[in-house]
Amino acid sequence: MRQIVLDTETTGLDPDDGHRLVEIAGVELINRQLTGSHLHLYVNPGRDSDPEALDVHGLTTAFLADYPPVEDVIDQIIDYVTGAEVIIHNAPFDTKFLNAEFTRFGYKPFTEYCGKITDSLVHARELHPGKRNNLDALCDRYGISNEHRILHGALLDSELLADVWLAMTRGQESLLMSFGNQNDDMDSEAEHFSFDASRLPVVYASESDVQAHQRYLEALAESNKAPSLWATLEAS
């Protein structure tokens, strides 16, 4: 499973008002593991950023003047995201800008090149209703250090979001068992397998695992302003 965690920075809030991309970045996950492959592009928007946007990302017109316009890097973006699940925090904002830039230069909308778009903000709100779910709040909630995040930057934010996404979705997603060579076309209901649980290895937690678990419970209790159910059961 290939996933790209992606972020952008822009000159303002809405491409319908003439605002443009100034930065795009993404990091790659394969089977929930960071691969080290990343995309990071600054682009010359051909206009100034609104003061509010400049306060967020700090990318001045003078700095961006030496970088190519977005139409020169669209093929790089397509090569990087094609077929992948693309994870974006508040995805409608970024995809509106990306779609506008792609169609401006005769390409299909950005979203049509992606296998799937996943909005991590929607997922966070489902997990933590009624709480702040911006990237800073989620980093704090999951114990992910963002002390070096003074200004927003697309690469740093995509790296932080990748850590947050893995933390938010770390529950077991599937149990994959191999039963030797099988015909994929065979009716699964007609297949009967025996499973011997006694053959599973028993792995005990190390002292560092226990300490890490305790730190996690303490952070969970602090975040929820109440002891975790695990701690309550241990004390009973």
**Would you state the structure tokens that stand for residue 105, as one six-digit string?**
């230069």
Tell me how far apart the terminal alpha carbons of the chain are, to the nearest angstrom: 42
**Would you state the structure tokens that stand for residue 43, as one six-digit string?**
């682009």
The CA distance from 98 to 39, in Å, is 15
Strand residues in 163-221 grouped as ranges (E): none
| Burial (CB count <10 Å: 0-12, 13-18, 19+), residue 159 | buried
Question: Choosing from 128, 152, 192, 213, which is the catalytic residue?
Answer: 152
The CA distance from 67 to 41, in Å, is 9
Q: Is 152 a catalytic residue?
A: yes
Q: What angle do CA 110, 84, 34 make, to 5 degrees?
A: 125
* Long-range contacts from 168-174, C-beta under 8 angstroms, 24+ separation: 168/120, 168/123, 168/124, 168/127, 168/138, 168/142, 169/32, 169/123
- Residues annotated as catalytic are 152
